[in-house]
């Protein structure tokens, strides 16, 4: 149960309420709608409609953007695999592992969640965060151990700990170029190689 402020109750069932709303919310919700976010969502929808027809023939602009972002995401993944695929001894190692659906068509076109085996993503981000914008996919500590905590979502997805602690979330956009992707992946690969000692 929650506070029963001034004897007010839930207008639908007469029970106590978790959050007390003001009169503008008919007593159902505390606070006021986030008007700037609502306006922003409306503006985003308007921009999508304005760009509906692209300069690429009859292809809707958003469909073109989706295909472009998917191509950039694939290139980013391929660059990481090619850059980190060789271990110290020259044997092919499975250092890079994608997180999420095994079918790439079921993934978001603009987002890559990738685990880098035995990499500490927090350390990696600390060293490249001013060069490449990316985020860690796990809430791990700065020192490595097999018992280190990481995202409950990654655990639920069955991501092995040695990959989860090195998970990065990388995003591309409609204006991302091949040069952008190549530069970012080169920076990530070089920093990961430092951590791996090769």
Q: Take residue 34 and report the two structure tokens written for it.
A: 């986030």
134 among known catalytic residues: no
Given the residues 134, 140, 165, 168, the one annotated as active site: 140
SS3 content of the chain, % helix, strand, coil (to 5): 45, 10, 45
The dihedrals phi and psi of 27, each to the nearest 5 degrees, come to 75, 5
Count helices and strands (H / E) in the chain. 6, 4
Quick one: DSSP state of residue 7?
G
Q: Take residue 151 and report the two structure tokens written for it.
A: 């995202």
Q: Take residue 20 and report the two structure tokens written for it.
A: 């007390």
Please give the biggest Cα pair distance in the chain: 73
- Annotated catalytic residues are 140
């Amino acid at each position: 149960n929650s506070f029963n402020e001034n004897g007010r109750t839930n207008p639908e069932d007469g029970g106590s309420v978790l959050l007390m709303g003001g009169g503008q919310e008919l007593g159902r919700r505390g606070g006021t709608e986030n008007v700037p976010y609502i306006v922003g969502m409306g503006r985003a929808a308007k921009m999508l409609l304005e760009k509906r027809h692209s300069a690429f023939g009859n292809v809707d602009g958003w469909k073109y953007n989706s295909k472009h972002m998917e191509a950039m995401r694939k290139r980013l993944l391929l660059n990481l695999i090619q850059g980190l695929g060789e271990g110290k001894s020259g044997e092919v190692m499975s250092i890079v592992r994608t997180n999420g659906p095994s079918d790439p068509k079921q993934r978001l076109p603009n987002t890559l969640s990738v685990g880098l085996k035995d990499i500490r993503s927090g350390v990696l981000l600390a060293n490249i965060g001013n060069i490449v914008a990316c985020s860690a996919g796990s809430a791990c500590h700065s020192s490595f151990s097999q018992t280190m905590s990481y995202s409950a979502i990654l655990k639920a997805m069955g991501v092995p700990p040695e990959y989860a602690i090195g998970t990065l979330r990388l995003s591309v956009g409609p204006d991302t170029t091949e040069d952008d992707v190549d530069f970012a992946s080169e920076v990530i690969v070089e920093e990961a190689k430092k951590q791996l000692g090769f």
